[in-house]
Structure 1
């Protein structure tokens, strides 16, 4: 059976970078959401919170995929 460990490591490394980007985007959205809430744009802030929830859910799935790849 061929050894896919190098491919798995490369894939896990790439996914890790994407996950770090995703965390940075979530942090930026959180800051914008706070500003929107303080400046009376609550409906837009609610949409931003929904986007953050999506990012959080996807981050969890990415983390699990990275862990599985690193275990193979």
Structure 2
């Protein structure tokens, strides 16, 4: 059975990959939002901006968790 440190490292590594995916999704949503805005679909663009805000907020929480795991 792995010790707590090994488990923390594995968890932090998995969270790091999820965080990278979250950043990639945010970038994709940003591109789609820009296109929507430029093509007159403001209401949908506004909804996409809300989704990006959620990604940003959750990214901060994931980053904090990764930091705590790597420090323990």
Q: Is the structural similarity TM-score above 0.5?
A: yes
Q: CA deviation at 1:52?
A: 0.1
> CA offsets per residue over residues 36-68 of structure 1, 9 Å max, x none?
000000000000000000000000000000000
Q: RMSD in angstroms over aligned alpha carbons?
A: 1.1
C-alpha separation in 2, matches of 1:45 and 1:10: 37
Q: Deviation above 2 Å: which 4+ runs of structure 1?
A: none
Mapped to 2, the partners of 1:21 and 1:38 lie a distance apart of 26
Gap runs ≥5 in structure 1:
none
Query: How many matched pairs?
Result: 71
2:49 is paired with a residue whose SS is helix
Q: What is the TM-score of this pair, normalised by structure 2?
A: 0.96
Matched position secondary structure for 2:47:
helix
How far the C-alpha of 1:5 sits from its partner, in A, is 0.3
Q: Does residue 45 of the first structure (1) align with residue 45 of the second (2)? A: yes
Q: TM-score, normalised by structure 1?
A: 0.96
